[in-house]
Structure 1
Amino acid sequence: MDGFGYPTMSSFFLKEIIHPLKTVVLLSLLVFLWISCSDGRLSIMEDTPIHPSQKRSLPFRTGPISYLALGDSYTIGQGVAPSQNFPSLLTSKLKKREIEINPPLIIATTGWTTQDLLKGIREADLDNKQFDLVTLLIGVNNQYRGQSLDDYGKDFTELLEKSLRLVGSEKERVIVISIPDWGVTPYATSLGRDKTKIALEIDLFNEKKNSLTEALGVRYLDITTEYRSLGHMEQYLAGDDLHPSEKVYDRWSEMLLEIILNEMNLR
């Protein structure tokens, strides 16, 4: 104000400038608040959930390793003590290496074909179970009974898919094992069977098995080649002159152990 009570020029201009500035500041504040919102919440609240977080269920891979062995007489170890079949020997070898593992669940019976094994799996009611390791050895009885290779392929594909579901679709946890050539045994000789024909048919079944296995990215273990060089020897035969002795099953368990220790992380 000047000496006469009238506003000076400077105070006049200050009022004129401050008034619009208030408006600008207010608008800027509103824009800031709008931008800071996220789904109706201020940015400072983004770390605070609106709803309580859902509890996650624990993964099934806890505790000792669970092992499922699927197959036929070669899996149960026909002709040897239960402790001497390859699933049991493999379990013992893992334990010796201080790897916690439960006794194997074996679904297998002498004489089973792929259809029999599929039925056995259904009857075992495994729908709500998960395993850390599955081995699958099946097919010799399909060949022995003269069953169709195409039917075998369909059944084996279903068995592979079931095996994968049982390990949570983690393909590295399934090991498919080739069919041994029983034609090299004294039992085949006693039947007067054509060993060359048996060998050719076993090869065809194994080729089908191998191609289906590789198509799904599953590990395939060839035991047939080695077995052909020793399956006729007395020390490698069970009492029936057909099935392998515990020495052969021990060898198969060693081959599986090597895969597990070098290539698989069961946990």
Structure 2
Amino acid sequence: MFYYPLQIALAPILLYQGKQVRKTALKLPEAAGARQGRCGEGEPLKVLIIGDSAAAGVGVDCQSEALSGQLAQALSHQFDVHWQLRAQSGFTTYDCMRAIEVTDCVVDVVVVSLGVNDVLRLPNVNVWMKHQSAFISVLRQTYQPQQIILTQVPPMGHFPLLPHPLRFFLGYKAKLFNLALSKWVQQQNDCSLLDISGELTQAHMAKDGFHPGPKIYQRWGRVVAQEIIQNRLS
């Protein structure tokens, strides 16, 4: 495979570009607002959103615009939604797993947003899948969900913030991570993997060129809600 030899050859350039991006990137805060709530009428539904900066709503001002608010709103037409958000900027899958606390809080659905920081920090896809498998096991033991919804690593090869060739390599690596995760999810009865890209473009991203903007969060919330509704009706 050409990817790894070329990555080694260009390592000094990629490392330099990575340092420059971290140094100059616009730092956006996590979305403000409540991280738990209740809305809607109908069958009770407990939802946990867990993950990284995208789960935390970086790129929009408030949680009502972020994944948590958009998902709760989309589900509220059919369910009495009890939702909570546990997310932090910079979290990898391993970080998120370590942050999970022993609890008697059983939920119906867990929605996961992880992967970008893993692509940035992990050496290869094998380590990624070990962390993913362990993380899902901890989710099952801790929250006993009926359904776990994962979102594909976004197309990092299209992130405006990233210069080439760094953008190409991270984009390709994200594709490898998604391919491995997709194969693993197919063997899990309680997991699904969503691709939310659809007709979204670079123009829909936040002003930092790295995080979701309002339109991405809107679509993300609708797609996840549809997955939950279909699962509950089947």
Question: Do Structure 1 and Structure 2 share a fold, with TM-score over 0.5?
Answer: yes
- Find 1:230's aligned residue among 189, 200, 205: 200
The one-character-per-residue Cα deviations of 1:199-250 (angstroms, maximum 9, x if unpaired) are 2210111122222222222342332653xx63422xx121212111111011
Per the normalisation by structure 1, the TM-score is 0.65
TM-fit CA distance, 1:136:
1.5
Q: Superposition pairs for residues 32-181 of structure 1, below 5 Å?
A: 64-80=44-60, 81-95=62-76, 97-102=77-82, 104-121=83-100, 125-168=101-144, 170=146, 173-181=147-155
The structure with higher relative contact order (CA 8 Å, sep 6+) is 2
User: Residue 50 of structure 2: SS of its match in structure 1?
Assistant: strand
The one-character-per-residue Cα deviations of 1:135-189 (angstroms, maximum 9, x if unpaired) are 122111111124332221111101111222345363xx21111111223121013
User: Residue 82 of structure 1: SS of its match in structure 2?
Assistant: coil
The CA distance in 1 between the partners of 2:72 and 2:159, in whole Å, is 28
User: Residue 66 of structure 1: SS of its match in structure 2?
Assistant: strand
- Find 1:260's aligned residue among 212, 223, 228: 228
Task: Establish whether residue 195 from structure 1 lines up as the match of residue 176 from structure 2.
Answer: no
Task: Establish whether residue 240 from structure 1 lines up as the match of residue 189 from structure 2.
Answer: no
- Find 2:160's aligned residue among 166, 170, 186: 186
Instruction: Structure 1: give runs of 5+ residues left out of the alignment.
Output: 1-62
The CA distance in 2 between the partners of 1:107 and 1:215, in whole Å, is 26
Per the normalisation by structure 2, the TM-score is 0.73
The CA distance in 2 between the partners of 1:143 and 1:256, in whole Å, is 23
The CA distance in 1 between the partners of 2:155 and 2:95, in whole Å, is 20
Give the AA of the match of 2:93.
T
Higher helix content, 1 or 2: 1
Relative to structure 1, is the Cα distance of residues 150 and 158 closer, same or farther in structure 2, using a 3 angstrom cutoff?
same
Relative to structure 1, is the Cα distance of residues 146 and 160 closer, same or farther in structure 2, using a 3 angstrom cutoff?
closer
Relative to structure 1, is the Cα distance of residues 66 and 205 closer, same or farther in structure 2, using a 3 angstrom cutoff?
same
TM-fit CA distance, 1:91:
0.6
Give the AA of the match of 2:68.
P
Higher strand content, 1 or 2: 2
- Find 2:192's aligned residue among 220, 226, 240: 220
The CA distance in 1 between the partners of 2:143 and 2:114, in whole Å, is 18
Q: Which residue number corresponds to residue 20 of structure 1?
A: none
Quick check: which has more Rg, 1 or 2? 1
The one-character-per-residue Cα deviations of 1:86-138 (angstroms, maximum 9, x if unpaired) are 1221111211x141012x222211111111101111xxx24322101101221
User: Residue 131 of structure 1: SS of its match in structure 2?
Assistant: coil
The CA distance in 1 between the partners of 2:66 and 2:108, in whole Å, is 19
Relative to structure 1, is the Cα distance of residues 147 and 85 closer, same or farther in structure 2, using a 3 angstrom cutoff?
farther
